[in-house]
Structure 1
Amino acid sequence: MRDITELPHDLFVLVIWLLPPRDYVRCRSVSRRWLAAFTSELVSLPLLRWNFPRCRELRLAAAAASLPSSPAHFPTNQEAELEDVAGQNPDWSSTFAEVARRYWFLSRGRPFAVDKLELAPSSRESGSIFSFWGVAAWNRFLRLNERTSNFHYPDPVWWYSQEDGVLVYPAALGSVDRVDRLASDRCAGHVYHILDLATGHRVVVPFDVRSKHIRRVRLAQGVLILEWAEALPFHQLNLLEVVHRHFVTAFDVVRKPAVTSLGETWSVKLRSEWKLHFLGLPLNRSDRFFSAHTATHYVVYFWQPNRSLYQDDPIEQLAVWDISSPSTYRPSEDPKGDKRPAVARTPFLPPGLWNGQNSRAAGAINSVDDEEAKSSRPRRASLAAATAGPQVIRRMAWRELDFYGLRQRATPQLRCLALDNRNLYVVEEEHRWADGQHSSLSPPRVHFVRSTAIPVIPEPVSSPQATYPLPARSATDLGAGIGQDADLTPAALSSIVDGPVNGPIWVDECGANGDVNMNFCRCMAGTSDTAQPLEASKEPPSGQLQPSVSTDRVGWPWVLGGASPSNAVISTRWPGWAPCWRHEDFPYLTVTEMVDFAAGVRVTARHCFILETLSVHIRPTVAVETSADQHKGGSRSTRRRFGEPRAVPARSREVYFSDEMWSELIANGHIAGDERWVVGEDERGRITVMRF
């Protein structure tokens, strides 16, 4: 035997099993014999599973293998990606080299490559057609011993969706290639682009930004939301202020399988548009709104100063919309409402159905049976046409917000909103060192965060007697899937709608406990073991709001393990947990983070103004976890069997980027990405993509 490549296969694998992944790849350059041995798929694939069991490539391959047996388990965009993966013959040798390079750079806090994307300048600065007028943050900042630091950051002009791996941003005209420039010439106002960071494919969003002020942009679950205001005021609010009409435009960002599509991989289609506020909002730094959305629902909270002479509390209201039904009607193009679909509310519907309530006495109220209804009721448009488009399913004003303990008044603590398939989450935060107009008059001991969840979204109930497909949507979308000739009797309608949304509210609170003994947060990496329902210290009733692993399709393919909490891993932070990761290293404050839970990669940005060096050079950190303790961020070692058991050192060591990376990524206080890259914004207003 001249070298190890002549060993039997099992012995050869046992030898190279001890090599670090980087050395394994470097061995390929020794000789042709070694190149053939170290690029063999029989060796590369087992070593990939051993060294990087949670990498994206292995998760995609495993999910693609299960696609024929359970195609309905995946969302549309992920199913299209899996079809591409299933139709390819993966080269596990090159995949191992790519993944080994990625984690080598991750473990050292160094990017393999850095890309810069130029943003379209705002009209307020350079006179361009694009204008971004972001919603003002709370007037709160941190102050201690004559030192100040940011507590809130403005909304970014771009957004990244980890679920789809695409970036939406306003591209500068000179930064696109010739093909995209020709398309931009035909649609000069279409500034926003969808960029697939993996393939470099770019799609123009068919949204004209001319004569508009963009207030916020967000992409989640394949739905792009653009909140905007008209450039010209609509009416006079008082002697000093004017009101601009505000709207929300939703687009479906759809991925097409490469094996079936001959043109673009991604397509952007208009879903619907609706008026954000019935009167409009002034463009100032006093009127604020917060929002969140899923693929089917949208929630918005308004906070407006009371302009009365008596200095009353601010005006607060919250609305939840069902946006699952598409509509071509655009209220922004119809100021007088003349083009609105003229479909009157169906007279035989009891009022409770329009409020998300189930009326079992619907037949008695109308006093007609099915046969009489068919013969006496004239033929008309289906209920699907009547309820097409966005519909409000829940409104809450002062009284309701006060009942749930969510009224903010003059010292707001609201950090953000979140939604899932049934519940609304309100995340609040307060800091002892907070100062400014909106700071609390009774600050907490150190740092306090809280998450309150309210069941607000009704769930439809399937009827076994129904002969038409029932939509998996909310109570207001009663007729989606009902044909033009369907019998819309009260009995049939009552079988579609579930009753009022009931259930206990969920409250989770967490506070840093920093003192002279340096005691920090009681929770680890955003998890909590002491969250309790508001009423009692016991588990919520079965079927109600509770901290369990979500089985929703949204989390694909980032949910690992089975469906039970004992052997599954939550793919994202459940918004019902209080965001105690904000003070996990008190007195440092975690400004923002990027977490890829399935891969075990977390990038955080923290600052502390007590130390002057950190106030200038703030260091993001990278933590790579093993599959032993993915959810709680533990650092204990794991044991696997590959021949003889061997302890594997945990990849949870925290390393630091270089000091200048703060100005390259965290200039706007927001980062995103996954295990392949981190996306941020630099001090010159450019998007930075750090690839690993």
Structure 2
Amino acid sequence: MDIAGLPHDLFLLVIFLLSPRDCVRLRAVSRRWHAAFTDDFVSQQLLRWNFPRCRELRMAAAIASVPSPISSSGIWPRNLEAELVDFADESPSWSALFARVARRYHHLNKGRPRHVLKLDMPASCRDGSFGFSFWPVAPWHRFLRLNEKISDFHYPDPAWWYSQEDGVLVYPATADGADGAPSLGHFYRVVDLASGASVPVPWDVRSKHIRRVRLAQGVLIFEWAEALPHHQLNDRELVHRHFATAFDLLRTPRSAAAGSPWAVEFRSEWKLHFLGLPLNRSDRFFSAHTATHYAVYFWQPNRSLYQDDPIEQLAVWDISSPSRYRPSEDPTGARRPGFERTVSTPADLPGPERQLAPLSADAKSQGTWSLETATAGPQVIRRMAWRDLDFYGLRQRATPRLRNLALDGQNVYFIEEEHRWADGQHSSLVPPRVHFVQSTGIPVIPMTTTATGEPPEKAPPPAGDADVGHAAKPPPLFAIIDGPVYGPVWVDSCGADGDVNMNFCQRVAAAHGGAAPGTGPLPSSAVGGADVGRRSPPAPGPAGWPWAFGEPAAPASSVASAPPTRWPGWAPCWRHEDFPYLTVTEMVDYAAGVRIAARRCFMLEALSVHMRPTVAVTGATPPGEAKDAAKAARRRSGKAKEAPARSSEVYLPDDMWNELVAKGHIAGDERWVVGEDEAGRITVVRF
């Protein structure tokens, strides 16, 4: 009697010890073995044992956790709901899912790409012609120098972007793209890497210099400058007006879509800088956005004769309200929607805050004012000049160490970094001992309140609506135009621990999904006169990303919380996790526990895949794999004696560095990794 004829419980005990690859290969032994190893229950058990955090299991658990139809549940974001509907309509068998996931993780564990896709991008022309022009914001003039060897420390932004939330790639297509879109000036396209569906972005990029492109939480933002200068700054520099254009990326289930399931709709546009910026390598700006807010930091050299400190400012916009008005098409502002502002201070609201007060019924009947008109479109809700930044200890001056900005619900985070071997015009005059990173969060996004001073969800419905037969409406919101926002300041810093010969960061393991954030050391002193607060990051809700779910049969009330994520307040200590190697860039899929990191030490380069699942099944790792994983963990941390189940580190082929990390940026998820090669082509490596 072979194992296929064993009782079911004994059969499960035997296949529990087999590797996923063997479980798939044994299907070809005989018809009896094929029937046993393709059984839906057996395949589902194998999938849970070996890959408990794979994407397919999480989607199946999400579908099972919602009793009502997915499209009407209202729990998930719209794009995620559409993806879940497509997954439910496909109804793939557990046997096919296990084979597909096993193949993917086999290639991940071996570090061998299964398929490599190349996407061409058009050449950038900066002469102001009607072609495609990408003029990225110049990075800081800092590089690493050691014993006459030089290595890059900063990289410019790419001309493309990948969204892990939606699994789509936004990139400029060549002139021979599908549907002839580039011939109309619509160079940028949104490509679903899973299905291959593609849709052009309805935006003419001709006569524009694209400075940066970002896609987050279903909102696509282009930062760009006009091709022709607007005015002359001095004898040598010309100023170009800069704008930001936002689009909504919407997904429709394939069963309800006539064509492509993806659609790109214009949301709003606003002027990025009130005077404009020169197209040079001196004026710089950093930005970040969510679905509702946009933050930008400007750093401009002071052009006075007295060599004063650079001009710095931070602006935060509320972009939650759409508007058809485009300031780039209205240079004089004559077509800008107008409304009357009335400044008032209700008794139940703080005095310093300026509010938009609702007008009387007579004023509304005249059509001169409406709350929808007053709050439509992007609005600046906070500006901070150099004095405010200096108060929080965030002023960069002539030796900036800012790497990027980040946003969450009410805070803006400044991610800063300094290195012992940093050299160049913007390098620090007092370098750190080895390598130092820091994240500082300041509360700058105000809360919107109602006329009664209550949050919108707690405000009572207005009286009188039910009497006239209309549905109850929420009371009008007061849009906070300006005013200070007070709160504790979050500061988290980390430095490499050791010496210049061998150095490890003790917090890297926790940052990859171990201990909860907030356990690391924090400075005890105040920063810039502000109180230093200490808090844990907010727990991601069911609509957050990355998302994780409980067992498929569990009710919605018992859905498990998501695993720890690298929230913006956590100092990016992964940058110096293996000093003197510097982690140039990384791709982390927290929900799946997969990480791909590109590390570099001058002329030495390494591109490795890390898989550190927080869900460990005792005995699931064969003895040989457990021993190799323990050695890898001991080499990485210098102290670890054990490694989590199925935790390993492998290296991709040597040529993958030039194929993926030539421009210093990679992205993706557990299914693939996206980068750019030396020839300026996008590389999609599928596993």
TM-score in terms of structure 1 length: 0.85
Letter in 2 for 1:130: F
Report SS of the residue matched to 1:13: helix
1:254 aligns with 2:250: yes
Report SS of the residue matched to 1:689: strand
- Confirm or deny: 8 A CA contact 1:360 1:494 kept in the other structure: no
**Match of 1:78?**
80
CA distance 1:234–1:58, change in 2 (3 Å): same
Report SS of the residue matched to 1:87: helix
1:551 aligns with 2:540: yes
- Confirm or deny: 8 A CA contact 2:295 2:317 kept in the other structure: yes
**Match of 1:634?**
none
1:302 aligns with 2:292: no
**Match of 2:409?**
421
**Match of 1:269?**
265
Is there any run of 5+ residues in structure 2 with no aligned partner, and where? Answer: 449-454, 464-469, 512-516, 627-641
**Match of 2:44?**
45
Letter in 2 for 1:575: P
Letter in 2 for 1:600: G
Letter in 1 for 2:431: P
- Confirm or deny: 8 A CA contact 1:136 1:286 kept in the other structure: yes
- Deviation of residue 465 (structure 1)? 2.4
- The equivalent position to 1:457 in structure 2, one of 427, 442, 445, is 445
- Deviation of residue 88 (structure 1)? 3.4
Quote the RMSD (CA, aligned, Å): 3.4
Letter in 2 for 1:598: A
- Confirm or deny: 8 A CA contact 1:302 1:318 kept in the other structure: yes
CA distance 1:288–1:106, change in 2 (3 Å): same
Separation (CA, whole Å) in 1 of partners of 2:474 and 2:610? 58
Task: State which drifts further: 379-388 or 135-144.
Answer: 379-388
**Match of 1:583?**
576
Letter in 1 for 2:106: W
- Deviation of residue 549 (structure 1)? 4.2
Separation (CA, whole Å) in 2 of partners of 1:259 and 1:148? 55
1:156 aligns with 2:145: no
Letter in 2 for 1:155: D
- Confirm or deny: 8 A CA contact 2:124 2:133 kept in the other structure: yes
Report SS of the residue matched to 1:73: coil
Task: State which drifts further: 519-528 or 267-276.
Answer: 519-528
**Match of 1:632?**
none
Write out aligned runs for 1:253-402 (5 A). 253-345=249-341, 347=342, 349-350=343-344, 358-359=350-351, 373-374=360-361, 379-380=366-367, 381-402=369-390
Separation (CA, whole Å) in 2 of partners of 1:228 and 1:65? 44
Separation (CA, whole Å) in 2 of partners of 1:288 and 1:160? 23
TM-score in terms of structure 2 length: 0.86
**Match of 2:27?**
28
CA distance 1:304–1:319, change in 2 (3 Å): same
Letter in 2 for 1:415: R
**Match of 1:675?**
670
CA distance 1:322–1:498, change in 2 (3 Å): closer
- Deviation of residue 373 (structure 1)? 4.1
Report SS of the residue matched to 2:331: coil
Measured against aligned partners, the alpha-carbon deviations of 1:295-344 in whole angstroms (never above 9, x if no partner) come to 00000000000011111100000100000000000000000111101222
Separation (CA, whole Å) in 2 of partners of 1:99 and 1:486? 48
* Structure 1 stretches of at least 4 aligned residues deviating more than 6 Å after TM superposition: 125-128, 360-363, 483-488, 494-499, 561-564, 646-649
Separation (CA, whole Å) in 1 of partners of 2:103 and 2:126? 43
- Deviation of residue 620 (structure 1)? 0.7
Measured against aligned partners, the alpha-carbon deviations of 1:199-248 in whole angstroms (never above 9, x if no partner) come to 00001001101000000001010000100000000001111111000000
**Match of 1:511?**
495
1:594 aligns with 2:587: yes
**Match of 2:105?**
103
- Deviation of residue 123 (structure 1)? 1.4
- Deviation of residue 125 (structure 1)? 9.1
- Confirm or deny: 8 A CA contact 2:502 2:580 kept in the other structure: no
- Confirm or deny: 8 A CA contact 1:236 1:243 kept in the other structure: yes
1:626 aligns with 2:613: yes
CA distance 1:362–1:118, change in 2 (3 Å): closer
Task: State which drifts further: 7-16 or 329-338.
Answer: 7-16
1:433 aligns with 2:421: yes
- Deviation of residue 173 (structure 1)? 2.1
- The equivalent position to 1:572 in structure 2, one of 560, 565, 570, is 565
Is there any run of 5+ residues in structure 1 with no aligned partner, and where? Answer: 469-482, 630-636
1:212 aligns with 2:208: yes
Measured against aligned partners, the alpha-carbon deviations of 1:570-629 in whole angstroms (never above 9, x if no partner) come to 4531110110000010111000000011111010001112xx4x1xxx111111123347
Letter in 1 for 2:610: A
- Deviation of residue 486 (structure 1)? 8.5
**Match of 1:529?**
519
CA distance 1:221–1:261, change in 2 (3 Å): same
Separation (CA, whole Å) in 2 of partners of 1:568 and 1:553? 8
CA distance 1:416–1:340, change in 2 (3 Å): same
Separation (CA, whole Å) in 1 of partners of 2:266 and 2:541? 25
1:139 aligns with 2:138: no
- Deviation of residue 99 (structure 1)? 0.4
Report SS of the residue matched to 2:504: coil
- Deviation of residue 122 (structure 1)? 0.7
- Confirm or deny: 8 A CA contact 1:196 1:202 kept in the other structure: yes
Identical amino acids, percent of aligned pairs: 64
Separation (CA, whole Å) in 2 of partners of 1:534 and 1:135? 36
1:14 aligns with 2:13: yes
CA distance 1:67–1:125, change in 2 (3 Å): farther
CA distance 1:352–1:171, change in 2 (3 Å): farther
Measured against aligned partners, the alpha-carbon deviations of 1:516-552 in whole angstroms (never above 9, x if no partner) come to 6734223124356234476679xx99xx872234334
Separation (CA, whole Å) in 2 of partners of 1:438 and 1:235? 28
**Match of 1:471?**
none
1:687 aligns with 2:677: no
CA distance 1:625–1:689, change in 2 (3 Å): same
Report SS of the residue matched to 1:106: helix
**Match of 1:243?**
239
CA distance 1:428–1:554, change in 2 (3 Å): farther
Letter in 1 for 2:14: V
Separation (CA, whole Å) in 1 of partners of 2:335 and 2:10? 76
Write out aligned runs for 1:473-512 (5 A). 501-512=485-496
Letter in 1 for 2:595: R
Report SS of the residue matched to 2:278: coil
- Confirm or deny: 8 A CA contact 2:406 2:412 kept in the other structure: yes
- Deviation of residue 82 (structure 1)? 1.5
- Deviation of residue 36 (structure 1)? 2.1
Separation (CA, whole Å) in 1 of partners of 2:203 and 2:478? 39
Aligned length, in residue pairs: 637
Letter in 2 for 1:574: W
- Deviation of residue 560 (structure 1)? 5.3
Task: State which drifts further: 298-307 or 652-661.
Answer: 652-661
Letter in 2 for 1:437: Q
- Deviation of residue 91 (structure 1)? 1.2
Report SS of the residue matched to 1:173: coil
- Deviation of residue 569 (structure 1)? 4.3
**Match of 1:476?**
none
Report SS of the residue matched to 1:555: coil
